[in-house]
Amino acid sequence: MLAGAGVAAADTPSGSDAGTSSASTNEAKPTTHEPAETKAPTEEAAEENSAKPAATTKRKKKTRVTATRESATTTAGTTADPEPPAEKPAHRRRATAVTATVAVTAAPAAKESVAQKVSAYAAPLAAAGATATPKAPAVVGLIQSVVAGVAREVRVIINGVSTVTAAAVHAVQVVATGPIPKSPAGLFQHFVYTPVHTVAEAWIDTELGHQVNGTINRLAGSYVIGDGAAGTAEHPDGGAGGWLFGDGGAGWTSTVAGQAGGAGGRAGLVGDGGMGGAGGAGAAGGQGGTGGQLMGSGGGGGQGGAATTGGAGGAGGDGAGLLFGIGGAGGQGGDGVDGGRGGNGGDGARLLGSGGDGGDAGDSGVGGDPTGLPALGGAGGNAGLLGTHGEVGHFGASGTVAVTSGGTGLSTTGTWITNSDGQVVILHGVNEVYKLAPFEPAASGFSEDDAQFLAANGFNVVRLGVIWAAVEPQPGVYDTEYLASLSQTVQMLADHGIYTLLDMHQDLYSSTFAGEGAPEWATQTGGLPNQNFGFPGSYYLNLAMNHAWTQFWNNAESPTGLGLQDAYAQMWENVASYFSGNTAVIGYDIMNEPFPGFSWLPTLLGSPFFGYQQLTPFYNQVISAIRAVDPTTPVYIEPANPAVSEILDILGFPTSLGTVSDPNTVLAFHDYCGGSSLSALCGYIAKALARGAHNYAAQHGIPAFMNEFGATSAKGDLTKQMRAGDSYLMSWSVWAYTGKGDITTSGTHDGEALVYDPALPPTGDNVNAGNLGILSAPYPQAVSGTPKSWSYADGTFAFSYSTAKADGSGTFAAGAQTTISVPAVQFPNGYQVSVVGGHVVSAANDAKLVIAADDGATAVSVTVTGTAVGATAA
């Protein structure tokens, strides 16, 4: 093993414990001792193994460290190019950090008598071969000499200070200028595995170690201790490490166009998997070797070869240890006219394990104009129970394909949604999700008169359902006609001044389980019983559906050859590419009500694992895919399904989500009271749910949006839910515009509807007048300043705001206008207005009241009251 190789870094809070494992730094080992058979190797075989050449090209290393990491880590990438790597674009670089220099070297023997003494014990054992059984005193003496030899002959250099190995383990434990890791997996790696592995590998590479290990292997008649051989052109895959201790050999770096790099060798009981070799031109990198069966780290995946179509990066090896294991990092995709995808990070061990980081994608537009969308980075590897999930790799450059900006659409400023003029925008609207094929709102009859009805009653947003099964009915096949149909609905709404929030909707995972969402090809039942227990009962009781969810969160392989989450992210890349630049689309709601699968009970009982180690990394992966084609449109994230999160929220537990690494993020949440059986507690429940969302949003400096509530015609409950959002000055969208086609609801179709049948005109008995009277309450729509409060009761609307800009850059100028929705359904006889700090500039009784701030005003207060019958409106 090369000096310093195999020293794994400690864990990180936002990615894997090491980003890559210690195996990620393993280069081809110049001396190896793996026998071709399990019988004891001959001296000639041992000499042949020792003479195996290193990889023909030196691996270049890329730094993969984020600013939030608890310690820095270096990942060895693979390439056929021996030159230093070119600097990556800003969107793909990660900040570097400085760590202690750790190197393990074999120092000259302090006392020749020690080596001579060990050789004296070893010589007769070696001569005896595997057929002879040494006497016990000789074995005991050998062990004693090995210990003494290691203590005297192996030295560790830390920051230039040499320390004998008697203190080496302690020295490696405290290596260090970096912070101590926080996760149990990281702590174990830092204080236990790294020192043990470092010292043991140093011992293997000493001359004394060669002699002793060779003797042990001959006595055992198998390869017990030693590192695997590096792959060659004839045998591309790296050899396995010794079954007791040893790192896997590195895979061959292909020099043949179209031929993949060799896979890294697996480690023994303890050790690191070998690095995957780089692919030839246009070919994939080799997969990293699996880490030790007891403890160890997976090897990093090899780099994809550059070509017209860049090769995919190899997957990182799994950290499959029974006790401990860190997944290897995915390899980088190759550059090309169309770049190659980054390799996925390896999974961590089930208990003390962290996933490896995904590899960065190759750049497109190298050598010609790209034909497809930018390549995506690999997914981070899955975490064990006491570890952390790996980070997603960076997407590749788009080449000459322009990535359209979000233009003048809505964005976020701190905890507010804002427009291009810096005004705070408040959104009130409805959900329109058609859950039956063809999954288009138009199929339910939703049309122009519905848009006109919504605008006339003060609504300015529609949460529009998008169904994965309709977007991608076959693996890798995207239905642009379906997207075009949705686009027509978006434009129709925009023509009436209504924004659209695209909602990738699911209930009960897919139609396989009497729900909607995923296509059949992405639904893995595992052959388990598929019994329909209704909605939401099937979430808890349907075994086949829980298996499908669990496979999704495991990123199990799909018919596309990608993992299920990888396919979902790529689907979103296509959707976002289609709508990028459409300023009427104000956001992408990544997944409706994500459910944990078989881990629902621990989640229900308060385990944070799903929220932090599965859901949050999933959001980061999908957001990265969206940002590859749309840099600005806000992304909306939801906590775990209310079936497992609502009770905890009501009890005051914090929202179980980590930090999403995108500045233009909105927290979307659902606020339901639980039906008539809990009506007496509805006010408390609704306020508690809104408070929890508000607290998370405030902590992370993002807006909160109540994108579902209602599903009832109980006026008291509906009012309490709506006012819970209003009390925190939130935007909202009620469930639902119509119940038509709603196959997954715990209520009734008519009870949840604002309009009963959108195929008919929204007038008279086709309108739920009671719900309309509640939901069309006055509210500020665009504020030239920062809202302070608003309320509506007994026909009086009160609103106050400061003229300070939400971004803190100053105040709005005198005359800056604020728009308030005051629909006629609330003020049938007109209204009167009283303003302090401003004045009315809109026409009398206009459905949109416009207030202009007075010169020098820092605060504005507005009061609107209905005009009594027979009185004159002001």
> What is the predicted pLDDT for the residue at 871?
61
Domain presence at residue 20: no
- The residue from 730, 745, 776 where one domain ends is 776
Same domain? 514 vs 619:
yes
Q: Token digits for 479? A: 């239905």
Same domain (yes/no): 389, 426: no
- Would 848 be classed as within a structural domain? yes
Q: How far is CA 773 from the centre of its chain?
A: 41
Query: E strands within 411-540?
Result: 411-413, 416-418, 424-425, 428-432, 461-466, 499-504
730 within 8 A of 780, measured Cβ to Cβ: no
Q: Return d(Cα 432, Cα 435) in angstroms, integer.
A: 10
Question: In this structure, are 477 and 569 located in the same domain?
Answer: yes
* Statement to judge: residues 641 and 725 lie in one domain: yes
Q: Is residue 443 part of a domain?
A: yes
The helix/strand/coil state of 866 is strand
- C-alpha 822/C-alpha 830 separation (Å) is 9
Q: Is residue 389 part of a domain?
A: yes
Q: Are residues 385 and 438 in the same domain?
A: no
Domain boundary among 398, 413, 434: 398
CATH code for position 689:
3.20.20.80
- Whether residues 382 and 505 share a domain: the answer is no
Q: How far apart are CA 408 and CA 404, in angstroms?
A: 12
The DSSP 8-state label assigned to residue 445 in this structure reads T
DSSP per residue over 583-607, as a string? TTEEEEE--SS---GGGHHHHHTT-
Residue 72 included in any domain:
no
CA distance 765 to 774: 17
Domain-ending residue, one of 776, 807, 828: 776
Determine, yes or no, domain membership for 495.
yes
Residues 628 and 692 both lie in one domain: yes
Give the containing element (helix H, strand E) for 716.
helix 715-727
Same domain, yes or no: 684 and 827: no
Helix, strand or coil, per DSSP, at residue 184? helix
Element (H, E) at 483: helix 480-494
* Full DSSP string of 803-826: SB-TTSS-BPPTT-EEEEE--TTT
Distances from the Cα of 479 to the Cα of 81, 103, 237, 374, 741, angstroms: 40, 55, 40, 19, 21
For residue 859, is it within any domain?
yes
Stated pTM of the model:
0.84
How many CB atoms lie under 10 A from the CB of residue 199? Answer: 19
Same domain, 266 and 355: yes
Q: How far apart are CA 269 and CA 69, in angstroms?
A: 29
- CB distance 38 to 222 below 8 Å: yes
For 546, the 3-state DSSP assignment is: helix
Pairing of strands 585-589, 635-637: parallel
838 and 769 co-located in one domain:
no
Residue 130 maps to a domain: no
Phi-psi region of 867 (alpha: psi -120 to 50; beta: other; left: phi over 0): beta
Number of domains in the chain: 3
Give the structural domain span for 810. 788-866
Residue 407 is predicted with a pLDDT of 55
799: domain CATH number? 2.60.40.1180
The structure tokens listed for 836 are: 């302090």
What pLDDT is recorded for position 404? Answer: 56
What order of strands is seen across the sheet that includes strand 295-297?
295-297, 324-326, 352-354
Same domain, 479 and 389: no
* Closest among 99, 146, 94, 100 to 119, alpha carbons compared: 146
Q: Are both 240 and 261 inside the same structural domain?
A: yes
Burial class (CB in 10 A: 0-12, 13-18, 19+), 667: buried
Per-position b or e across 215-244, b if 16+ CB within 10 A of its CB: bbbbbbbbbbbbbbbbbbeeebbbbbbbbb
Structure tokens at 64: 């993969």
Residues of the chain with pLDDT under 70: 1-179, 400-408, 676, 870-874
Q: Give the model confidence (pLDDT) of 672-708 as tens digits.
A: 998 767 788 999 999 999 999 999 999 999 999 999 9
743-776 pLDDT tens trace: 999 889 999 999 999 999 999 999 999 999 999 9
pLDDT at 150: 43
Between CA 632 and CA 407 the distance in angstroms is 8
How is residue 524 written in tokens? 């893995």
